[in-house]
A and B are shown apart, each in its own frame.
Chain A
Amino acid sequence: MIVAERKPLTEIIKAVAPFAKVLVLGCGECVTVCMAGGDKEAKETAAAIAIARKKTGQELVVKTLTVERQCEFEYLESARKLVEEADVVVSLACGVGIQTMNIHYAKVQTLPGVNTTFMGLPLQQGIWVENCLGCGNCVLEETVGICPIARCSKSMLNGPCGGSQDGLCEVSKETECGWHLIVERMIKFDKLSVLSEVKPPKDWATSHSGGPRKMVREDVKL
């Protein structure tokens, strides 16, 4: 899933200050699951904007809506009436959803209400970890299913650096060393010898480093 975190309310309140009619738009997918931008958070955000505005006495009409999936045009149609009535939209979807809104409703500005952080998984209630950087050339079969690109702070391909100690990464005591996990799992699968192969420099052209990516599939195009 895509993991996000709501922006500080003060930041959102400041961003919508010039506008009288505000729509807070949640998304029913990833951001609902990671409790950053679902219906509940949309209502909370709207309430906070209303309270702040009361203090200033400035006019305000704030509405909320949560669409099923903000990152696809077809799901945005259900919001048309409210979007067109609004002066500004605060989207609590991930960066993809926010941009989908700005493309689909080009006349209204949609502002970000969350910071989109990473692609990852909920490890346990309240804890999410990054797992994939979308490098465009997956190597998980070489590393027993643990990503060296996303889970190693230095995206190393040929094994751990010299800073790994007690299973933790040198970057922080809160961060597991991805390579420690890989080596342990390799030993379990009796595959440590696989790591002896020298991996050549990675082709980063398939990643974002090669420029914004676009996928065209003739076989499924209409």
Chain B
Amino acid sequence: MSMSNLQKVVASGAFAVTGELGPPKSAERKKIEHHAHLLKGCVDAVNLTDNQTAIVRTSSIACGRILIEEGLDPVVQITCRDRNRIAIQSDVLGAVALGMKNFLCMQGDHAKCGDEPSAKNVNDLDSTNLIQSLRRMRDEQVFIGGKKLEAPIDLFIGAVENPFADPFEYRAYRLAKKVEAGADFIQTQAIFDMDRFELWMEKVRELGIHKKIPILAGIIPIKSMGAVRYMKNNVSGMIVPDAIIDRIKAAEDKKEEGIKLCVEMINHLKTVEGVAGVHIMAVAWEEIVPEITERAGLLPRPKFD
């Protein structure tokens, strides 16, 4: 079995760091390469969003190949919104053939949230089905329909969980279910409400999930008042406490305050039992990742032969 870089980092027990790249609304390879270069050396792997917020962008698998050519380890996000089980299984095979190993299974924002509200939402599978299906493709070499794969594949299967969505009482159980379905690693929604995150982690530890799977805590560096307000009011399933808004508002240098907050949060997360790493989503602010990872003491990243 050959492992992805992220998989090796996690297996080594090091505190993992993943980044995120939002593919462009164009076919400009240069843009993708540029963002990849900004993240290189600061993170162990880079998530490629799959038409995030239901807005058409370059395919995550195509970007994944570009990242590999640039020497980065891609995490291909796969939503259930746009493809049925035939297309998803086929795309995963294609991505593996192109060298990708990390896949992050998610449901995907509803098409109504994006630029193509008239689109048909597929949702043939749900995210848990998707995790389970990928696990079976890898461990049992079998497709959903029961037919055998002609050769084995290596996959490192990720799942997401959102401690800030409701019903809160169910969120840790839902994580347990995704682990049971076959997830190998977890990335969470961006944390702003640390109290709620810790409450959720308490429940996660109570259920013993943290011992079974590495959990990477989501972080979004705040760039401006506009950005933080947008996240509070327009992004579904996110909680931004007023204290954070007030703190940024009061700061003279908003960007510096955003970085400070981010570094503080990462340093705190390192001390939370069961948090195995951070997932830094600096989409549209990729250039800040080197500074954040440096100031948070996350550099240099582990290297493997």
Contact = CB atoms under 8 A, between A and B. Distances in A.
A179 B121 CA distance: 18
A157 B113 CA distance: 21
Interface string B126-160: 11110011000000000010000000000000001
Interface in A167-212: 167, 170-172, 177, 179-180, 183-184, 187, 192, 195-196, 198-202, 204
27 contacts: A153-B112, A154-B80, A156-B107, A156-B123, A156-B127, A157-B129, A158-B177, A158-B181, A159-B128, A160-B170, A162-B107, A162-B160, A162-B189, A163-B110, A165-B166, A167-B166, A170-B109, A170-B110, A171-B112, A179-B167, A183-B170, A184-B167, A192-B173, A195-B170, A196-B180, A198-B128, A204-B124
A202 B126 CA distance: 9
A158 B236 contact: no
Which of A167, A171, A177 neighbours the largest number of chain B CB atoms within 10 Å of its CB?
A: A171
B161 interface: yes
A109 interface: no
Interface string B82-120: 000100000000000000000000111110110000000
B124 A165 contact: no
A165 B169 contact: no
A154 B180 contact: no
B50 to A, nearest CB: 14
Given A154-B126, A160-B174, A196-B173, A180 B167 contact: yes
A156 B121 CA distance: 12
A219 interface: no
B112 to A, nearest CB: 5
Nearest to B106: A162
B177 A198 contact: yes
B170 A153 contact: no
A172 B125 CA distance: 22
Contacts of B181: 158, 198
A180 B216 CA distance: 26
Nearest to B124: A204
Contacts of B71: none
Contacts of A33: none
Contact of B127 (A158, A171, A195): A158
A115 interface: no
A164 B128 contact: no
A161 B79 CA distance: 12
A180 B132 contact: no
A165 B128 contact: no
Contacts, number: 109
Given A164-B167, A167-B166, A177-B166, A200 B129 contact: yes
A157 B181 CA distance: 13
A154 B132 CA distance: 18
A200 B130 CA distance: 9
Nearest to A187: B169
B191 to A, nearest CB: 13
Which of B80, B124, B129, B165 neighbours the largest number of chain A CB atoms within 10 Å of its CB?
A: B165
B18 interface: no
Please name the 7 residue pairs, one residue from A and one from B, whose CB atoms are nearest each other, closest first.
A162-B162, A170-B236, A158-B128, A163-B236, A156-B126, A201-B129, A161-B107
Interface string A10-50: 00000000000000000000000000000000000000000
B241 interface: no
B127 to A, nearest CB: 7
A15 to B, nearest CB: 23
A94 B132 CA distance: 40
B299 interface: no
A47 B275 CA distance: 69
Given A153-B112, A162-B237, 14 more contacts: A154-B123, A157-B128, A158-B126, A158-B127, A158-B177, A160-B170, A161-B127, A162-B107, A162-B160, A163-B165, A187-B169, A192-B173, A200-B132, A201-B125
Nearest to B113: A170
Contacts of A187: 169
A163 B177 contact: no
A155 B112 CA distance: 15
Nearest to A170: B236
Contact of B177 (A170, A172, A177, A196): A196
B213 interface: no
A141 interface: no
A153 B174 contact: no
A45 B236 CA distance: 42
